[in-house]
Protein backbone atom coordinates (compact mmCIF):
# COMPACT_ATOMS: atom_id res chain seq x y z
CA UNK A 1 0.00 0.00 0.00
CA UNK A 2 1.30 3.44 -0.94
CA UNK A 3 -0.17 6.58 0.63
CA UNK A 4 0.73 9.97 -0.86
CA UNK A 5 0.35 12.86 1.57
CA UNK A 6 -0.02 16.34 0.10
CA UNK A 7 -0.46 19.30 2.38
CA UNK A 8 -1.25 22.99 2.56
CA UNK A 9 -2.37 23.84 -0.97
CA UNK A 10 -3.51 27.35 0.03
CA UNK A 11 -5.51 27.71 -3.19
CA UNK A 12 -6.42 31.27 -4.18
CA UNK A 13 -8.99 32.80 -6.50
CA UNK A 14 -7.72 33.15 -10.08
CA UNK A 15 -5.36 36.11 -10.47
CA UNK A 16 -4.88 36.67 -6.73
CA UNK A 17 -1.63 34.96 -5.66
CA UNK A 18 -1.05 34.10 -2.02
CA UNK A 19 0.94 36.68 -0.03
CA UNK A 20 1.09 38.88 -3.12
CA UNK A 21 3.17 36.69 -5.42
CA UNK A 22 3.05 32.99 -4.53
CA UNK A 23 1.27 31.04 -7.26
CA UNK A 24 -0.19 28.37 -5.03
CA UNK A 25 -2.66 27.23 -7.69
CA UNK A 26 0.14 26.34 -10.14
CA UNK A 27 1.83 24.50 -7.29
CA UNK A 28 -1.27 22.35 -6.71
CA UNK A 29 -1.26 21.28 -10.35
CA UNK A 30 2.45 20.47 -10.17
CA UNK A 31 1.87 18.38 -7.05
CA UNK A 32 -0.99 16.49 -8.65
CA UNK A 33 1.12 15.90 -11.77
CA UNK A 34 3.98 14.63 -9.61
CA UNK A 35 1.66 12.13 -7.94
CA UNK A 36 0.29 10.99 -11.30
CA UNK A 37 3.84 10.50 -12.61
CA UNK A 38 4.64 7.98 -9.87
CA UNK A 39 5.14 4.37 -10.87
CA UNK A 40 3.64 2.52 -9.11
CA UNK A 41 0.75 4.82 -8.41
CA UNK A 42 -0.25 5.47 -4.80
CA UNK A 43 -3.37 3.66 -3.61
CA UNK A 44 -4.74 6.88 -2.17
CA UNK A 45 -3.91 10.52 -1.53
CA UNK A 46 -4.26 12.35 1.78
CA UNK A 47 -4.54 16.13 1.88
CA UNK A 48 -3.73 17.36 5.38
CA UNK A 49 -5.48 20.70 5.51
CA UNK A 50 -5.27 24.30 4.35
CA UNK A 51 -6.68 23.28 0.98
CA UNK A 52 -7.84 26.87 0.57
CA UNK A 53 -6.05 30.01 1.71
CA UNK A 54 -9.15 31.90 2.85
CA UNK A 55 -11.86 29.22 2.70
CA UNK A 56 -13.54 30.85 -0.30
CA UNK A 57 -15.83 28.91 -2.66
CA UNK A 58 -13.66 29.97 -5.65
CA UNK A 59 -10.64 28.46 -3.92
CA UNK A 60 -12.39 25.14 -3.31
CA UNK A 61 -13.48 25.04 -6.95
CA UNK A 62 -9.81 25.22 -7.94
CA UNK A 63 -8.89 22.47 -5.48
CA UNK A 64 -11.77 20.27 -6.61
CA UNK A 65 -10.79 20.62 -10.27
CA UNK A 66 -7.14 19.84 -9.55
CA UNK A 67 -7.89 16.82 -7.35
CA UNK A 68 -10.40 15.59 -9.91
CA UNK A 69 -7.49 14.56 -12.14
CA UNK A 70 -6.38 11.95 -9.61
CA UNK A 71 -7.68 8.46 -10.39
CA UNK A 72 -7.21 7.16 -6.83
CA UNK A 73 -9.29 7.97 -3.73
CA UNK A 74 -8.54 11.31 -2.08
CA UNK A 75 -9.05 11.91 1.65
CA UNK A 76 -8.86 15.47 2.94
CA UNK A 77 -9.21 17.14 6.33
CA UNK A 78 -9.56 20.89 6.90
CA UNK A 79 -6.99 23.29 8.35
CA UNK A 80 -7.05 26.76 9.87
CA UNK A 81 -7.15 28.42 6.43
CA UNK A 82 -10.25 26.40 5.55
CA UNK A 83 -13.81 27.22 6.51
CA UNK A 84 -15.49 23.99 7.55
CA UNK A 85 -18.84 24.78 5.94
CA UNK A 86 -17.35 25.89 2.61
CA UNK A 87 -14.97 22.89 2.66
CA UNK A 88 -17.90 20.52 3.17
CA UNK A 89 -20.15 22.25 0.65
CA UNK A 90 -17.52 22.05 -2.08
CA UNK A 91 -16.05 18.64 -1.40
CA UNK A 92 -18.74 16.50 0.25
CA UNK A 93 -20.68 15.99 -3.03
CA UNK A 94 -17.52 14.56 -4.63
CA UNK A 95 -16.04 12.78 -1.62
CA UNK A 96 -18.83 10.93 0.16
CA UNK A 97 -16.65 9.93 3.13
CA UNK A 98 -16.77 13.60 4.17
CA UNK A 99 -19.61 14.85 6.33
CA UNK A 100 -22.23 17.22 4.94
CA UNK A 101 -21.94 19.33 8.10
CA UNK A 102 -20.01 19.35 11.35
CA UNK A 103 -16.61 17.84 12.12
CA UNK A 104 -14.89 16.29 9.11
CA UNK A 105 -13.86 13.04 10.78
CA UNK A 106 -13.92 9.62 9.13
CA UNK A 107 -12.29 6.21 9.00
CA UNK A 108 -11.15 4.46 5.82
CA UNK A 109 -11.14 0.69 6.17
CA UNK A 110 -10.38 -0.21 2.55
CA UNK A 111 -6.63 -0.75 2.83
CA UNK A 112 -4.08 -2.75 4.87
CA UNK A 113 -3.47 0.42 6.91
CA UNK A 114 -6.57 1.97 8.49
CA UNK A 115 -6.79 5.70 7.89
CA UNK A 116 -8.40 7.97 10.49
CA UNK A 117 -8.97 11.57 9.43
CA UNK A 118 -9.41 14.10 12.24
CA UNK A 119 -10.79 17.63 12.00
CA UNK A 120 -8.74 19.81 14.38
CA UNK A 121 -10.12 23.18 13.30
CA UNK A 122 -11.23 25.88 15.73
CA UNK A 123 -13.06 28.41 13.58
CA UNK A 124 -11.25 31.74 13.48
CA UNK A 125 -8.03 30.56 15.15
CA UNK A 126 -4.56 29.66 13.87
CA UNK A 127 -4.18 26.76 16.29
CA UNK A 128 -6.33 23.66 16.49
CA UNK A 129 -7.84 21.42 19.10
CA UNK A 130 -8.89 17.90 19.87
CA UNK A 131 -11.64 18.70 22.34
CA UNK A 132 -13.30 16.14 24.61
CA UNK A 133 -15.89 15.28 21.94
CA UNK A 134 -13.25 14.70 19.28
CA UNK A 135 -11.01 12.73 21.62
CA UNK A 136 -13.94 10.48 22.57
CA UNK A 137 -14.71 9.90 18.88
CA UNK A 138 -11.08 8.97 18.24
CA UNK A 139 -11.00 6.61 21.24
CA UNK A 140 -14.05 4.75 19.91
CA UNK A 141 -12.63 4.44 16.42
CA UNK A 142 -9.29 3.19 17.73
CA UNK A 143 -11.05 0.58 19.86
CA UNK A 144 -12.95 -0.63 16.78
CA UNK A 145 -9.71 -1.18 14.88
CA UNK A 146 -8.74 -4.14 17.08
CA UNK A 147 -5.06 -3.52 16.61
CA UNK A 148 -4.97 -3.14 12.83
CA UNK A 149 -2.14 -0.87 11.59
CA UNK A 150 -3.44 2.69 11.63
CA UNK A 151 -2.39 6.08 10.33
CA UNK A 152 -4.04 9.14 11.85
CA UNK A 153 -4.00 12.27 9.71
CA UNK A 154 -4.91 15.79 10.76
CA UNK A 155 -3.86 19.35 10.02
CA UNK A 156 -2.50 20.70 13.30
CA UNK A 157 0.30 18.70 14.96
CA UNK A 158 -0.63 17.65 18.52
CA UNK A 159 3.04 17.77 19.60
CA UNK A 160 5.71 20.41 20.08
CA UNK A 161 8.37 20.72 17.39
CA UNK A 162 10.94 22.96 19.14
CA UNK A 163 10.31 25.93 16.82
CA UNK A 164 8.74 28.86 18.67
CA UNK A 165 6.95 30.27 15.62
CA UNK A 166 5.19 26.92 15.17
CA UNK A 167 4.66 25.91 18.78
CA UNK A 168 2.43 28.93 19.40
CA UNK A 169 -0.26 27.42 17.14
CA UNK A 170 -0.34 23.64 17.66
CA UNK A 171 -3.27 21.33 18.20
CA UNK A 172 -4.34 21.66 21.83
CA UNK A 173 -5.02 18.28 23.39
CA UNK A 174 -6.09 17.03 26.80
CA UNK A 175 -3.56 15.55 29.23
CA UNK A 176 -5.06 12.15 28.38
CA UNK A 177 -4.52 12.40 24.64
CA UNK A 178 -0.93 11.12 24.69
CA UNK A 179 -2.04 8.26 26.92
CA UNK A 180 -4.79 7.34 24.46
CA UNK A 181 -2.27 7.25 21.62
CA UNK A 182 0.21 5.28 23.72
CA UNK A 183 -2.46 2.64 24.47
CA UNK A 184 -2.61 1.92 20.74
CA UNK A 185 0.80 0.83 19.49
CA UNK A 186 -0.84 -0.01 16.15
CA UNK A 187 -0.78 3.74 15.38
CA UNK A 188 2.07 3.91 12.88
CA UNK A 189 2.00 7.66 12.33
CA UNK A 190 0.22 10.84 13.24
CA UNK A 191 0.64 12.60 9.89
CA UNK A 192 0.05 16.35 9.92
CA UNK A 193 0.60 19.50 7.91
CA UNK A 194 0.31 23.15 9.04
CA UNK A 195 4.02 23.83 9.58
CA UNK A 196 5.07 23.69 5.92
CA UNK A 197 8.26 21.79 6.66
CA UNK A 198 9.28 18.12 6.97
CA UNK A 199 9.46 17.28 10.69
CA UNK A 200 9.55 13.94 12.50
CA UNK A 201 9.69 13.03 16.15
CA UNK A 202 8.77 10.35 18.66
CA UNK A 203 5.41 11.07 20.27
CA UNK A 204 3.42 8.91 22.69
CA UNK A 205 4.90 5.70 21.33
CA UNK A 206 4.26 6.53 17.70
CA UNK A 207 5.91 8.78 15.12
CA UNK A 208 4.74 12.34 14.72
CA UNK A 209 5.15 13.43 11.13
CA UNK A 210 4.71 16.83 9.48
CA UNK A 211 4.67 17.03 5.69
CA UNK A 212 5.93 20.10 3.79
CA UNK A 213 3.63 22.27 1.74
CA UNK A 214 3.04 21.98 -1.99
CA UNK A 215 3.82 25.70 -2.49
CA UNK A 216 5.63 27.89 0.06
CA UNK A 217 7.56 26.54 3.05
CA UNK A 218 8.10 28.03 6.50
CA UNK A 219 11.74 29.08 6.81
CA UNK A 220 13.56 27.04 9.43
CA UNK A 221 14.38 29.29 12.37
CA UNK A 222 15.51 27.64 15.61
CA UNK A 223 16.15 30.92 17.42
CA UNK A 224 13.92 31.53 20.41
CA UNK A 225 11.04 33.95 20.13
CA UNK A 226 11.01 34.27 16.35
CA UNK A 227 7.85 34.47 14.28
CA UNK A 228 7.30 32.35 11.19
CA UNK A 229 8.38 33.69 7.83
CA UNK A 230 8.00 31.86 4.55
CA UNK A 231 10.54 30.84 1.94
CA UNK A 232 10.27 29.33 -1.52
CA UNK A 233 12.29 26.22 -0.80
CA UNK A 234 11.41 23.23 -3.01
CA UNK A 235 7.93 21.91 -2.35
CA UNK A 236 7.52 18.22 -1.59
CA UNK A 237 5.08 15.56 -0.54
CA UNK A 238 5.29 12.45 1.58
CA UNK A 239 4.92 8.86 0.48
CA UNK A 240 4.05 6.49 3.30
CA UNK A 241 4.73 2.97 2.04
CA UNK A 242 3.29 -0.01 3.89
CA UNK A 243 5.53 -3.04 3.54
CA UNK A 244 4.67 -6.31 5.23
CA UNK A 245 8.23 -6.74 6.50
CA UNK A 246 9.45 -3.16 6.93
CA UNK A 247 6.22 -1.70 8.30
CA UNK A 248 5.26 1.86 7.39
CA UNK A 249 8.16 3.71 5.75
CA UNK A 250 7.90 7.45 5.05
CA UNK A 251 9.70 8.94 2.06
CA UNK A 252 9.87 12.58 1.08
CA UNK A 253 9.57 13.42 -2.62
CA UNK A 254 10.53 16.92 -3.79
CA UNK A 255 8.32 18.40 -6.52
CA UNK A 256 10.17 19.88 -9.49
CA UNK A 257 12.28 19.15 -12.52
CA UNK A 258 15.59 17.79 -11.29
CA UNK A 259 16.78 16.35 -14.61
CA UNK A 260 16.93 12.74 -15.76
CA UNK A 261 17.86 9.78 -13.62
CA UNK A 262 21.51 8.96 -14.05
CA UNK A 263 23.59 5.80 -13.60
CA UNK A 264 26.26 5.56 -10.95
CA UNK A 265 29.54 5.31 -12.89
CA UNK A 266 32.14 4.16 -10.41
CA UNK A 267 35.62 5.57 -10.24
CA UNK A 268 38.21 2.73 -10.26
CA UNK A 269 39.42 4.07 -6.89
CA UNK A 270 36.04 3.29 -5.30
CA UNK A 271 36.82 0.98 -2.35
CA UNK A 272 33.69 -1.16 -2.64
CA UNK A 273 33.40 -4.21 -4.81
CA UNK A 274 33.55 -2.75 -8.33
CA UNK A 275 30.89 -4.87 -10.05
CA UNK A 276 29.29 -2.91 -12.82
CA UNK A 277 26.10 -4.96 -12.73
CA UNK A 278 25.25 -3.74 -9.24
CA UNK A 279 23.73 -0.37 -8.50
CA UNK A 280 25.84 1.45 -5.91
CA UNK A 281 24.69 4.34 -3.85
Please report, as ranges, the residues that interact with Fe ion according to CB under 5 A: 8, 50, 79-80, 194
Question: 111 or 230: whose CB is closer to Fe ion?
Answer: 230
Question: 80 or 150: whose CB is closer to Fe ion?
Answer: 80
Q: How far is the CB of 251 from Fe ion (least distance, A)?
A: 21
Question: 156 or 189: whose CB is closer to Fe ion?
Answer: 156
Question: 79 or 208: whose CB is closer to Fe ion?
Answer: 79
Question: 8 or 59: whose CB is closer to Fe ion?
Answer: 8
Q: Residues 6 or more apart from 83 whose CB is under 8 A from it?
A: 52, 55, 123
Question: 50 or 119: whose CB is closer to Fe ion?
Answer: 50
Q: How far is the CB of 194 from Fe ion (least distance, A)?
A: 4
Q: How far is the CB of 166 from Fe ion (least distance, A)?
A: 10
Q: How far is the CB of 50 from Fe ion (least distance, A)?
A: 3
Q: How far is the CB of 151 from Fe ion (least distance, A)?
A: 19
Torsion 160-161-164-169 (CA) sign: negative
Q: How far is the CB of 156 from Fe ion (least distance, A)?
A: 7
Question: 97 or 194: whose CB is closer to Fe ion?
Answer: 194
Q: How far is the CB of 8 from Fe ion (least distance, A)?
A: 4
Tell me the C-alpha distance between 28 and 109, whole Å: 27
Amino acid sequence: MIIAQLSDFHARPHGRPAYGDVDTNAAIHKAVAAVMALDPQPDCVLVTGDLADCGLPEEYAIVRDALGALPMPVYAVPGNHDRREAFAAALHPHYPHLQATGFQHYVVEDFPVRLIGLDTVIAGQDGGEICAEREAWLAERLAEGQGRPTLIFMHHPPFRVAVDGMDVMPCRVSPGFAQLIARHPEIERIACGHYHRPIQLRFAGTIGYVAPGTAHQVALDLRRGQENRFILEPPAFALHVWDREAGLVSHLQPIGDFGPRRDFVLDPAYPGQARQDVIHV
